[in-house]
Amino acid sequence: MPKSVFDRRIEAALADVAGAAGRQKALSLICPDIQAARQRHPPLSERLRRIKAESMSRLPELLDQAVTALTVNGCRVFLAADAGAARDYIGGVVQGGVLVKSKTNVGKEIGVDGYLAARGVTVVETDLGDRLNQLDHGTASHPLAPAIHLPLSRVRELLARESGRDLPEDVAELVRAARESLRPHLAGADTGLTGANAIAADTGAVVLMENEGNIRAVTSLPAVHIVVAGITKIVPTLEDAVTVVEAASVFGAGQDLGTYMSVITGPAPEGHPGPREVHVVLLDNGRLRALAGGWGEAFYCINCGGCLNFCPVYRVLGGRFGHRYIGGIGVVQTALTETVAASTDAGLWACLSCGRCTDACPAQIDIPELIGRLRAGIVQERPSIGRRLVRGLLGDQARLSRVLRVVRRLTGPLWEERPARRALRPRLGVSRLLPAPRVRPAVPSAGRAHAVVYAGCLTGTCYPEVGAAALRVLSRHGVAAKWPDREPCCGLPLWNAGDREGACALARRNISFLTAFDGPVLTLCATCGDTLKNFYPRWLAGDPWQEQARRLSGRVRDLTAFLADDLTLGGIAGTDSWPVAYHDPCHLRLGLGVTVQPRRLLQACGRMVETADRCCGFGGPAGWRHYPMAAAVGDEKLARVGAKTLATACPGCMAALTDGLDRLGRAVAVRHVVELVDEAGL
């Protein structure tokens, strides 16, 4: 199969060692600051989400109000239907000379730099990082630290050339040189170009935030100031706009507030210094259509960049995940402002649905859900034969097991646990992450059960010993549980692959299947647990089955939480035995909020617990569609594991971790927490 555009970008990203090193450094410094700042501002995110939800639902009206207010203030407002219209307007205003600019995402969206340069305008970036990249002919590697990938020696070289004198490798000196070399550009520029963090409809105020003071210079020195902003930057009031800026500071930079917030309502009055003209270019470019189509949440985004810092895919790919807008939200915005094909090239199928972005986002945007919807749109247009086949296979675990075992018999050597063999598995259309299918051991089934074990397909077909261990532990504590063998798949694999109809059909089947059993539904797979508990009621919103989905949701418990919270397990004295690292499955930590219980269980087993947070790389279809990327995510994770045993509570994670350890040639045993509990005799 020829490599896709995105696969080539993955290759380039994985080869870019300097970029990765810079990014790691930036992330390690920024993440703790952001987390601390969030703690100091608990209500900020709710406030922002409310403001943005209101703004998007009232946008046409707010747009009118903003245009009127800006015009009354003396600004010249241009509503640009698309990128071309915006460029043409700007081209009409800027007839040549020097244009100084600050960071603007919409500027990137409309490709303003190249357009102006081609028309003979000298474009000068003024943010230091962006300026360094401009001098280096490179691109930004992180929204907050765009030039973090450049080593100090290179920065020195670039600035020395620029200022025409020798400079020491001293950061303070280099900053001074940059200030001095940019000043004449700022003082002599004809035009200043900026974006906007927010535009207040009530006052016609453009609000901008920054740390360096370049935006203040760009907006106060040249005779013409051009603002380019998406129409979705409009919020009802000045106070709302300030909330946007606060949220961007806290969630994007870990600051309470950026050093400078500039509020600009119009050109300078007669006899005063400052721009004679302020042009405000408001870009639609698909936004109104997207809002009408129910994509409003995508534009709650305030471009703070916070989500990137926690995204496992961004960690390994950097700015190559996304297009003009970076990261998962960037993929979504690309689809809405350009085309779905462009979003595919930007990494539509790379998202692991781990949910870290939503957790990091001040507007709480459910980015994985938006990405899933885009995938669904694509899948719907494809022929349905393959889809029907897969749906049928996943509808009944006993059937799935039989088929997989036949496949295994026919292709025996492929399933040996050796890297070379694993590498062959994709030839068969299965992921190399998939473990060898195994026959379920005979387990004594309880006569009258008062709990049902929902082990999930992967446990049932590939890790049956985990299910058996769970039954043994439960029965030791007097919980008679049943592990049915014909349960349907939870449906998440279909959902993530874009087959929403198929996923909902499986949801309904599971609901009626599980109604036949009494008591709690104990899940061994974090993904299944999150799906049954949290996703079904959402998937089936407005469906006659929703009420039943809610009832089922109330019965679902993660097995480790059930064992730790509801049973008295006792424990082994002393914790001097060998350590175990615990891997938090994303669906368990972020989806179900279960973090302490598995650790408590491991401690009860007499194990010392290390934590190795990070995604395993298995989520969604990325594992087989973009294996090198998923592998890089896994490698990052495994580099943090020192113990000889790695415990987790999700068979999906187990498969990815096992493959990764295999790939790295490391002898670490991967176990489900419940297996260790069983072995400890608890």
Q: Candidates 170-178, 372-380, 484-492, 604-612 — which segment interacts with other proteins by CB under 8 A?
A: 170-178
Contact between 680 and 657 (Cβ < 8 Å):
no
Q: Candidates 221-229, 296-304, 629-637, 663-671 — which segment interacts with ligand SF4 by CB under 6 A?
A: 296-304
Q: Does 597 bind other proteins (CB under 8 A)?
A: no
Out of other proteins, ligand SF4, none, what residue 363 binds, judged by CB under 5 to 8 A for its kind, is ligand SF4
Crossing angle for the helix pair 546-555 and 500-515, to the nearest 10 degrees: 60
Q: Does 171 bind other proteins (CB under 8 A)?
A: yes
How many CB atoms lie under 10 A from the CB of residue 359? 14
Q: Does 245 bind ligand SF4 (CB under 6 A)?
A: no
Out of other proteins, ligand SF4, none, what residue 126 binds, judged by CB under 5 to 8 A for its kind, is other proteins
Host H or E run for residue 495: helix 492-496
Out of other proteins, ligand SF4, none, what residue 129 binds, judged by CB under 5 to 8 A for its kind, is other proteins
Q: Which of residues 557-596 bind other proteins (CB under 8 A)?
A: none
Out of ligand SF4, other proteins, none, what residue 109 binds, judged by CB under 5 to 8 A for its kind, is none
Q: Candidates 19-27, 173-181, 360-368, 572-580 — which segment interacts with ligand SF4 by CB under 6 A?
A: 360-368
Q: What does the alpha-carbon distance between residue 461 and residue 405 come to, in Å, rounded to a whole number?
A: 9
Residue (261 or 677) nearer to other proteins, CB? 261
Answer left, alpha or beta for residue 366, where phi above 0 means left and psi between -120 and 50 means alpha.
beta
Pairing of strands 234-235, 198-200: parallel
Q: Does 318 bind other proteins (CB under 8 A)?
A: no
Q: Is 385 exposed, middle or buried (0-12, 13-18, 19+ CB in 10 A)?
A: exposed
Tell me how far, at minimum, the Cβ of 249 lies from ligand SF4, in Å: 11
Distance of CA 400 to the CA centre of its chain: 32
Per-position x/- string for 324-353, each x denoting binding to ligand SF4 as judged by CB under 6 A, each - no binding: -----x------------------------
At 642 the three-state DSSP class reads coil
Residue (356 or 440) nearer to ligand SF4, CB? 356
Per-position x/- string for 186-205, each x denoting binding to other proteins as judged by CB under 8 A, each - no binding: xx--------------xx-x
Q: What does the alpha-carbon distance between residue 588 and residue 525 come to, in Å, rounded to a whole number?
A: 9
Task: Tell which one of 21, 81, 152, 439 touches other proteins (CB under 8 A).
Answer: 152
Q: Does 372 bind ligand SF4 (CB under 6 A)?
A: no
Residue (221 or 332) nearer to ligand SF4, CB? 332
Residue (46 or 61) nearer to ligand SF4, CB? 46
Amino acid found at 399: R
Q: Does 211 bind other proteins (CB under 8 A)?
A: yes
| Tokens at 45, concatenated | 């995110």
Q: Does 182 bind other proteins (CB under 8 A)?
A: yes
Q: Which residues contact 151 (CB under 8 A, 6 or more apart)?
A: 18
Task: Tell which one of 70, 128, 304, 590 touches ligand SF4 (CB under 6 A).
Answer: 304
| Tokens at 535, concatenated | 């996703």
Q: Does 363 bind ligand SF4 (CB under 6 A)?
A: yes
Token pair 């927010």: residue: 198
Q: Does 217 bind other proteins (CB under 8 A)?
A: yes
Contact between 500 and 537 (Cβ < 8 Å):
no
Task: Tell which one of 61, 82, 88, 239 touches other proteins (CB under 8 A).
Answer: 239
Q: Does 676 bind ligand SF4 (CB under 6 A)?
A: no
Q: Does 196 bind ligand SF4 (CB under 6 A)?
A: no
Per-position x/- string for 27-66, each x denoting binding to other proteins as judged by CB under 8 A, each - no binding: --x-------------------------------------
Tell me how far, at minimum, the Cβ of 239 lies from other proteins, in Å: 6
**What is the phi/psi pair of residue 75, to 5°?**
-80, 155
DSSP string, 568-612: -----S---S-EEEE---HIIIIIS---HHHHHHHHHTT-EEEE-
Q: Candidates 133-141, 185-193, 303-311, 535-543 — which segment interacts with ligand SF4 by CB under 6 A?
A: 303-311
Per-position x/- string for 252-271, each x denoting binding to other proteins as judged by CB under 8 A, each - no binding: ----xxxxxxxxxxx-xx-x
| Tokens at 157, concatenated | 């070289």
Distance of CA 304 to the CA centre of its chain: 13
How many CB atoms lie under 10 A from the CB of residue 292? 11
Out of other proteins, ligand SF4, none, what residue 147 binds, judged by CB under 5 to 8 A for its kind, is other proteins
Residue (210 or 678) nearer to ligand SF4, CB? 210
Q: Does 27 bind ligand SF4 (CB under 6 A)?
A: no
Token pair 């698309």: residue: 82
How many residues bind ligand SF4 (CB under 6 A)? The answer is: 14
Task: Tell which one of 62, 174, 433, 474 touches other proteins (CB under 8 A).
Answer: 174
Q: Candidates 354-362, 434-442, 556-564, 646-654 — which segment interacts with ligand SF4 by CB under 6 A?
A: 354-362
At 101 the three-state DSSP class reads strand
Pairing of strands 76-80, 451-454: unpaired
Q: Does 303 bind ligand SF4 (CB under 6 A)?
A: yes
Contact between 554 and 586 (Cβ < 8 Å):
no
How many CB atoms lie under 10 A from the CB of residue 611? 13
Task: Tell which one of 14, 53, 93, 145 touches other proteins (CB under 8 A).
Answer: 145
Pairing of strands 521-523, 260-264: unpaired
Give 98's strand partners: 122
Contact between 660 and 636 (Cβ < 8 Å):
no
Q: Candidates 4-12, 218-226, 388-396, 499-507 — which segment interacts with other proteins by CB under 8 A?
A: 218-226
Q: Which residues contact 222 (CB under 8 A, 6 or more apart)?
A: 100, 189, 190, 191, 192, 275
Q: Does 361 bind ligand SF4 (CB under 6 A)?
A: yes
How many residues bind other proteins (CB under 8 A)? The answer is: 60
Tell me how far, at minimum, the Cβ of 418 lies from ligand SF4, in Å: 41
Q: What does the alpha-carbon distance between residue 622 and residue 560 come to, in Å, rounded to a whole number?
A: 27
Strand segments (E) across 45-86 = 76-80
Task: Tell which one of 217, 250, 360, 526 touches ligand SF4 (CB under 6 A).
Answer: 360
Residue (246 or 584) nearer to other proteins, CB? 246
Task: Tell which one of 126, 531, 548, 658 touches other proteins (CB under 8 A).
Answer: 126
Out of ligand SF4, other proteins, none, what residue 319 binds, judged by CB under 5 to 8 A for its kind, is none
Rg over CA atoms, the chain: 28
Q: What does the alpha-carbon distance between residue 93 and residue 620 come to, in Å, rounded to a whole number?
A: 47
SS3 percent helix, strand, coil of the chain, rounded to 5, is 55, 10, 35
Nearest alpha-carbon partner for 670 in 451, 462, 441, 430: 462
For the sheet with 556-558, list strands across it: 481-482, 451-454, 521-523, 556-558
Host H or E run for residue 240: helix 238-248
Q: Does 302 bind ligand SF4 (CB under 6 A)?
A: yes
Q: Does 658 bind other proteins (CB under 8 A)?
A: no
| Tokens at 230, concatenated | 């998406």
Q: Rule CB under 6 A: which residues touch ligand SF4?
A: 251, 301-307, 329, 360-363, 365
Q: Which residues bind other proteins (CB under 8 A)?
A: 25-26, 29, 73, 126-129, 132, 144-148, 152, 155, 171-172, 174-176, 178-179, 182-183, 186-187, 202-203, 205, 211-214, 216-217, 219-221, 238-239, 242, 246, 256-266, 268-269, 271-274
